[in-house]
Amino acid sequence: MPITVDIDVMLARRKMSVGELAERVGITPANLAVLKNGRAKAVRFATLAALCEVLECQPGDLLRWEPDTGDDDVAAAGIAVSEG
């Protein structure tokens, strides 16, 4: 997925545990782990705002876009790719 989640970076900078962040944001540690490990398909703006408030950061500190390097995701999405 071309969106990378950098919650680990902010947790380390704030010297905060996943459990503490989950509690302060109001989500389960399991749901935070899904987001943190890049397995989430979506994130609510309210959750993103709460993460930014607790971590005292901007959304761009938590999320970044990286270009996709392969056609695997395109094929998995059911998009036809023609070759010349």
pLDDT at residue 20, rounded to an integer: 97
**Could you tell me the two tokens for 84?**
């010349």
pLDDT: is 7 or 74 the higher one?
7
Report d(CA 61, CA 54) in Å as an integer.
13
pLDDT at residue 69, rounded to an integer: 79
pLDDT at 61 over 80: yes
Output b/e per residue, 39-71; b: 16+ Cβ within 10 A: ebeebeeebeebbbebbebeeebbbeeeeeeee
What is the pLDDT averaged over residues 28-51? 95
- SS3 of residue 4 by DSSP: strand
- Are 53 and 59 within 8 A, CB to CB? no
